[in-house]
Amino acid sequence: MASAPTLQLTGIGRQYGEDPPIHALRDVNLHVERGEWLAIEGPSGSGKSTLLNILGCLDHSTTGTYLFEGQDVGELSDRERGGLRSQHIAFVFQSFHLLAHRTVVENVMLAEVYQHGSRRDRRVRAEAMLERVGLAHRTNYLPPRLSGGERQRVAIARALLGSRHVLLCDEPTGNLDTATGLAIMDLLAGLHADGLTIVMITHSPELAQLASRQVQIVDGFLTEGAA
Amino acid sequence: MSHGASQREPARVVATMSTIDLLDEASSGLFARPGRTALTVLGTVIGLAAIVATLGLSRTASNRIVGRFDEIAATEIVVSSRPELNEGISNAIPWDAAARLAQLNGVVAAGTLSSVDIGDGLVTTAPVNDPSRRTDFDLSVQAASPTTFAAVRATLSTGRFFDQGFSDRNDRVAVIGINAAERLGIVTLGTGPAIRLGDEVFTVAGIISGVSRQHDLLGSIIIPEGTARNLYRLRQPELVVVETRLGATSLITAQIPLALRPDNDAALKVVSPPDQQRVRDAVQSDLNLLFVALGAVSLLVGAIGIANVTLVSVMERTGEIGLRRALGASRSHIAGQFLLESGVIGFVGGILGASLGVLIIVAVSAYQSWTPVLDAAISFASPLVGALVGLIAGTYPATRAARLEPVEALRSGT
């Protein structure tokens, strides 16, 4: 098991509905090594979000096997998949998903709620993460008062709290202007340099180029290499 | 900071959430929209306040009804003999019955009472002013022990009661009821009025203006028992009238046959008021049924309110639910949080409702000068009932929340 990739998909298919069936993914084979930064590139409706959800144990495949650090995710119960997410997998979404009525630091602290950790110093740790993404001065703001770029930084701080080592990003710059988007990409590059495993989906070839490895997905079929 | 982790297969862990985190998240959810939460709580408050107030007021009101009833009848026992069982027995009720019963703990007063047969004779008075006035009447004549006056709570308008000395000396004195006095034309004792019972002349010692029981005494001539035995050959007391302390009737009822007829307790017929607790319960159950039905309807409306608001909240917070699932929450964590939120709404509603209900009881009682009767159990059960209502109302929305697929939830919300 010593050399097992962090994430390994074998023959993964995902079918929605029966009549007629929609094949979102067909026979996807993919492995992601520890510390890799993988960009999954593809147009809208290509199945890239479905793939990311399966990687994040939010969705399940209809065929094939998915090993997370050697463990077959298909064998896990709902609670165990929740446990796996809470310990290992962090998400950053296109639409940020911050709770509007909780302060910035409380939003970050949410990352530890479903973990086995202690509540002690949770706020201190969350503040440290906010400082890391350059938002120490926004700790007690409510999210609606922040700019889009700041909101995504809060989401990244939340993803960092709790020591998860796989970060899944769904169009992280999709709601941001180009300059802000590039700043976020810089932040991700820094995290990757620190050893974080990142899987990012994007429809932008330019952003995909910033990753260390690219795969294409079109009509549910995955191919290696840049577009 | 290191993101490196061990290379071996991770141990299977389930997502956990500490109780304090659960409380924290639920309270944050409730305080996110305080206005709406307050309005939702209001539904339960009204329902439970209605139930607590109506139960309390019905108890207060029925306590008054029972209280009045107590004054008159709940302290009365009447003992008579069973003629069918007493053939050949001359003394079914002994002459000293009143004295015997007075020794029982719980008896306030006891007296014997018998109607006296004065033969064909009528009660007559001497014509004072009006020779044409009718002077002879067919009035009932009763023989009583001196203690009977206390046992029937007789009050005098003038004169005095006779005592044991009159009875022992066979004195020819009479105490007459106010109605009898009117018919006989006796208004004052100043002239030393006398009446004739058949051939015997009696001095009127007093006039009774009221009794609480044995109301026919007001229309009767009452003479001492000793005199009746001597003149009219009264064979045995007909009745024993007993006044007990409140709540002692059932005990005394059981003791009377032993005290009076240890040899043959079936010879006596002891009539006591129905069991007090049963009377109280019967009065209350009638009132409560209506009031509780009203309260239950308001509570049902409150429950529907909670269910409705929680359901709306689940739909609005779809994105939050998706986020929590992404952070590791299992379906049961999501369901638990929403159930706790609705349960807390119900619990708080229960506390406020009980408080409001108690205030209503006290306010109404103060206004009506009643003694408020509060059932502590109802007040303390109210928050629990509220929480239960909240939990039941929250079950469907919580199930909906838990069933949301995280992928769908994340897609729909922000």
ipTM of this complex: 0.93
Most confident of A5-9, B84-88, B91-95, B393-397: B393-397
Chains A and B form CB pairs within 8 A to the count of 142
Closest-CA distance, B334 to chain A, in angstroms, reads 11
> Do the chains contact at B13 and A116, CB–CB below 8 Å?
yes
Q: What is the pLDDT of residue B7?
A: 46
Best probe of the B interface among A48, A58, A89, A95, by most B CBs < 10 A, is: A58
Closest-CA distance, B308 to chain A, in angstroms, reads 21
With contact defined as beta carbons under 8 Å apart, do B77 and B252 qualify?
yes
Q: What is the pLDDT of residue A130?
A: 95
Q: Is B256 exposed, middle or buried (0-12, 13-18, 19+ CB in 10 A)?
A: buried
User: Is some CB atom of chain A closer than 8 A to the CB atom of B336?
Assistant: no
Best probe of the A interface among B327, B340, B411, by most A CBs < 10 A, is: B327
> Do the chains contact at B15 and A4, CB–CB below 8 Å?
no
With contact defined as beta carbons under 8 Å apart, do A157 and A149 qualify?
no
**Band of residue A1 on the pLDDT scale cut at 50, 70, 90:** very low
Helix or strand holding residue A82 (H, E): helix A78-88
> Do the chains contact at B331 and A83, CB–CB below 8 Å?
no
Distance CA A87, CA A56 (A): 12
What pLDDT digit, counting tens, does each position of B138-174 carry?
A: 888 999 999 999 998 899 988 999 999 988 998 899 9
User: Is some CB atom of chain A closer than 8 A to the CB atom of B132?
Assistant: no
What pLDDT digit, counting tens, does each position of B228-263 carry?
A: 888 888 888 888 999 988 878 888 888 888 888 888
The alpha carbon of residue B159 and the mean position of all alpha carbons in its chain are separated, in whole angstroms, by 39
With contact defined as beta carbons under 8 Å apart, do B270 and B77 qualify?
yes
Closest-CA distance, A90 to chain B, in angstroms, reads 7
| Nearest residue in chain B measured CA to CA from A75 | B12
Residue in A79, A165, A196 closest to B15 by CB: A79
Summarize the confidence of residues A219-225 as an average pLDDT: 87
A142 contacts on B by Cβ (under 8 Å): none
What pLDDT digit, counting tens, does each position of B286-297 carry?
A: 666 777 787 788
Q: What is the mean pLDDT of chain B?
A: 83
Token pair for A24: 């979102």
Q: What is the DSSP track for B128-179?
A: -S-TTS--EE--EEEEE-TTHHHHTT-EEEEE----HHHHHTT--EEEEEHH
> Do the chains contact at B3 and A196, CB–CB below 8 Å?
yes
What pLDDT digit, counting tens, does each position of A46-72 carry?
A: 888 899 999 999 988 999 999 999 899
User: Is some CB atom of chain B closer than 8 A to the CB atom of A151?
Assistant: no
Residue in A4, A68, A91 closest to B326 by CB: A91
Summarize the confidence of residues B96-111 as an average pLDDT: 89
**Band of residue B285 on the pLDDT scale cut at 50, 70, 90:** low
The position carrying tokens 């109301």 is B215
The pairing of beta strand B76-81 with beta strand B155-159: unpaired
The more confidently predicted of residues A138 and B187 is A138
Residue B126 has pLDDT above 70, yes or no: no
Summarize the confidence of residues A76-93 as an average pLDDT: 91
Q: What region does B174 belong to: left with phi over 0, alpha with psi -120 to 50, or beta?
A: beta
Distance CA B391, CA B386 (A): 9
Closest-CA distance, A207 to chain B, in angstroms, reads 22
Q: What is the mean pLDDT of chain A?
A: 90
Summarize the confidence of residues B204-216 as an average pLDDT: 89
The more confidently predicted of residues A8 and A163 is A8
Q: What is the pLDDT of residue B341?
A: 92
User: Is some CB atom of chain B closer than 8 A to the CB atom of A71?
Assistant: yes
Instruction: Identify the CA nearest to B78 among candidates B261, B228, B267, B213.
Output: B213
Helices B276-316 and B318-326 cross at an angle (nearest 10°) of 80
Q: What is the pLDDT of residue A185?
A: 93
User: Is some CB atom of chain B closer than 8 A to the CB atom of A93?
Assistant: yes
Q: What is the pLDDT of residue B71?
A: 61
With contact defined as beta carbons under 8 Å apart, do B346 and B306 qualify?
yes
Residue A32 has pLDDT above 90, yes or no: yes
**Band of residue B95 on the pLDDT scale cut at 50, 70, 90:** confident
Residue A150 has pLDDT above 90, yes or no: yes
Distance CA B346, CA B352 (A): 10
> Do the chains contact at B328 and A35, CB–CB below 8 Å?
no
Q: Which of residues 291-320 of B touch A (CB under 8 A)?
A: 319-320
Residue in A71, A83, A195 closest to B328 by CB: A83
Instruction: Identify the CA nearest to B203 among candidates B176, B231, B179.
Output: B176
A80 contacts on B by Cβ (under 8 Å): 12-14
Close Cβ partners of B65 (under 8 Å, ≥ 6 residues apart): B283
Q: What is the pLDDT of residue A2?
A: 46
Q: What is the pLDDT of residue B5?
A: 43
pTM: 0.66
Residue B28 has pLDDT above 60, yes or no: yes
A68 contacts on B by Cβ (under 8 Å): 10
Distance CA B225, CA B115 (A): 10
Per cent of chain B over pLDDT 90 is 22
A59 contacts on B by Cβ (under 8 Å): 405-407
Q: Which of residues 104-123 of A touch B (CB under 8 A)?
A: 106, 110-111, 113-116, 119
Closest-CA distance, A32 to chain B, in angstroms, reads 14
Closest-CA distance, A206 to chain B, in angstroms, reads 25
Best probe of the A interface among B6, B14, B27, B313, by most A CBs < 10 A, is: B14
List strand residue ranges (DSSP E) for chain A, in order. Answer: 7-16, 22-32, 37-41, 63-68, 71-72, 89-92, 166-170, 197-202, 213-218, 221-224
B7 contacts on A by Cβ (under 8 Å): 1-4, 69
A79 contacts on B by Cβ (under 8 Å): 14-15, 330, 332
